[in-house]
Structure 1
Amino acid sequence: MKPFAAFDTETRYGTVSLRTASGIRKYPVNQNARLSILLQLECLCSFRKPHKPHSWIYFYTLDNKLVLSNLQYAKSIELIGDDVEAMPCYYPPEIYRALDDLDTGEISDSVKTNCQAVIADIGDEKAMRIVSFVRITYDAGEDEWNFLDKGTANTFFGLEAATFEVPPHTLAQIEEEGYYRARYANLDRVAVIEIPSDRYHRLTRTRSRSKPIKRASQLSRAPTQLPKKSAGAARED
């Protein structure tokens, strides 16, 4: 069963195309994400005001991602309306949450059936990655996938609280196994981070946010039933 983008016609916008040295990634976004990106870019378009070093931009997508982009590795950022180019496809928000809770949560039979169809289509490993794992892409293009738990969620929450103004040589904890293991990434060498947004917000929902950022799914409500026919899935590079 393929993802789709046949709903949310009032709030969806289209595509964010992010070009880095390792290629182009395209994300489906709504109007709220578009405005957020434009506001962030406006602060960087002034030739008179000095820019803060090591700036990042961030936005929520309709396919369950909080995307953090390190601008020193971004070659270009393009916003494309859905009437110009078909946006990448995505699943309804409840499908992403159900996939993450498939073994433990109370899920209706219809949603469970749709989740099983998703897993049959993209495979169990990929299905789990898009809802439970953080994808970190380094400057040379190599990817790491790390399970998003409470500890690593707090790392990204700290970046969010600082509005993603990252000082030079910042080391961020990206993996921990209690006493036995901890791993940190040098954010100077990280190009893009993709965080599963539903899981991230559930892990940090008790933390106060001085400047809350609305998720794409908060402005978009999709029907549970997946259509029989839909556009192909967006490339998961």
Structure 2
Amino acid sequence: MDSRSARTALVPFFQGCVKLLALPIYVLSFLGYWDPVCKRIFPYFMSKLSKRYNQKLHKEKELLFSNLESFAGVSGQLSLLEIGTGSGTNFPFYPPCCQVTCTDPNPNFETYLQQSMAENRHLVFERFLVSSGEDLHQVPDSSVDVVVCTLVLCSVHSVPAVLEEVLRVLRRGGAFYFMEHVAADRSSWTYFWQQIYDPTWRYLGDGCSLIRETWKDLENAKFSELKLRRINAPLKWTPTRPHILGYAVK
């Protein structure tokens, strides 16, 4: 048996150990109590963690969003829809007078979102929609210049369904910007630990998966152009270091 096969054989055992340590969470979930609690406390922790994330990846985000204005429509004003806006940590990277529509399936983020809006007066905020990325029916077809989605595709129910909605709401020539943590190379130790933590991580991270190969969904979506690169984010001691980021054009 080679080393990769040996590691794979050990995954169920170590998964079980982690589940045993997190047994109270599994019991609360079985009783139907964990999800409501998680929905309430998750926005608070994410608002704190997102600030640290922005500090660690400030340069990467600046570079990612540096050409946003080039996708502005004929009016010259950029219309932007953000999926899974959370606490609004991307706002400082958007250009002045950008018209922003925010969406998130968790209404408990709105308090933190309002605070970010107050701190980013250079933007024009249109509305906040409580909706999932798979169902953006309140947004008309071909109505926005740019769609942004960061650290969201790891937790949606269906990445292909989200990308279908992105393509629907984008005007022709518009762009989809993404920055997501993804599965590591399957032969790596990082992937080994991602597999072990993944079942429990989903409970702690409100559905977040560590082992999604999101780049495959982007490659299979019907974008005319895809600019994608990989980085190892400077996030020590976490299984979320492997990232993809870039943009795709409709």
Question: Which is greater in Rg?
Answer: 2
The structure that is strand-richer by fraction is 1
The structure that is helix-richer by fraction is 2
Query: TM-score under structure 2 normalisation?
Result: 0.25
Query: TM-score under structure 1 normalisation?
Result: 0.26
